[in-house]
Amino acid sequence: MATPPLLERVMLALPPRAAEFAWLACIGTTLVFGLSATVVLVWPDHPPAEDLLESTLACLSVAMHAIPHWFADPVGALAMLAACVAAGRVVIVARRYVRAGARVRAFHRDVVAVVARTTEGPHHPVIWLEHPMPLAYSVAGRPGFVVVTNGLTRGLTETECGAVLAHEHAHLRAGHHRMIRSCEVLASALPRIPLFAAAPRAMATLVELDADECAASATSRSAMHAALRSVSHATSTAPAPLLSFGGDVIALRLRRLSDNSDRRPTRPKPSYVAVACLPVAASAAIAIAAVSLLGAAACLLPTFTG
């Protein structure tokens, strides 16, 4: 509940890859702790990890044993039912997304292959379309491919065109499509959880910033900045939006590329693991404190009632 506003405030101050780690770590932490809490709640005896985490789970055991059975049993049943319903919704929505995406990609590949020519790129095939508007986008799959119009080579320099291609190849190499699709599945299946509801838009912004950094590393920040400015200006006059992001995101990308032009592009660092571990540590600390207070209250309750 509290994480989305915090992440939205700090994600632009972090390198894009670190911010992606933070969002994915928070989502994973929510899923793991939610499932773990359900399992511990319905476990017939002491939780199986109590021998390894005695100091932590002792508080949990005190709280669980202090709760009357007439109250704990229905709560456990409801928790298991809610977990099963949530898991079922995630599976159903995921299957729908996977099937729809596979149909769209297959249709897209078949149609584009008829009217375009294909060349081998450095990492994935590149399909060239005859169209005056400068545009490029990537399509995930096995294998994924990049679609580029001839207008891109006519309106941009060779270095700028290389930056655009590097940007699209970065999307495919890093699996950005899978990240966004996973966030969309969770947002569609469990829209009432604020973290899941806010994740798709935030992740879509971060993967663009991350791909920009990769493209700047392959070419230069000035080339990527000029290419993005040219493409966004040319597509802004189209009858329908052709880019998968809005003007605010484009302005943010241009500002990030123009600021600190002499800065070397960021690369994955071991410190990103620490960023990813922060949500886990924070959740564990809050859980331990809450369970300790609950256990103390449960132990003191008979004293006050007596």
Overall pTM > 0.75: no
**Interatomic CA distance for residues 101 and 288, integer angstroms:** 41
SS3 128: strand
What does the pLDDT look like over 96-120, one tens digit per residue? 888 887 777 777 777 776 666 777 6
Both tokens of 80, joined, read: 């298991």
Residue 2 is classified by DSSP as -
Residue 243 is classified by DSSP as S
**Interatomic CA distance for residues 204 and 187, integer angstroms:** 13
Q: Report the pLDDT value the prediction gives residue 234, as an integer from 0 to 100.
A: 76
Residue with tokens 């508007």: 133
DSSP H or E run through 142:
none
Other Cβ atoms closer than 10 A to 191:
11
- Report the DSSP pairing between strands 136-139 and 117-120: unpaired
What does the pLDDT look like over 201-231, one tens digit per residue? 999 999 999 999 999 998 889 999 999 988 8
What does the pLDDT look like over 254-273, one tens digit per residue? 888 887 544 544 444 555 56
**Interatomic CA distance for residues 127 and 149, integer angstroms:** 8
Whether the Cβ atoms of residue 184 and residue 97 lie closer than 8 Å to each other? yes
245 pLDDT above the threshold of 60: no
CA dihedral in degrees (211, 214, 218, 224; nearest 10)? Answer: 50
In 3D space, the residue among 269, 197, 219 whose CA is nearest the CA of residue 5 turns out to be 197
| DSSP string computed for 74-88 | HHHHHHHHHHHHHHH
Distance from CA of residue 256 to its chain's centroid?
A: 20
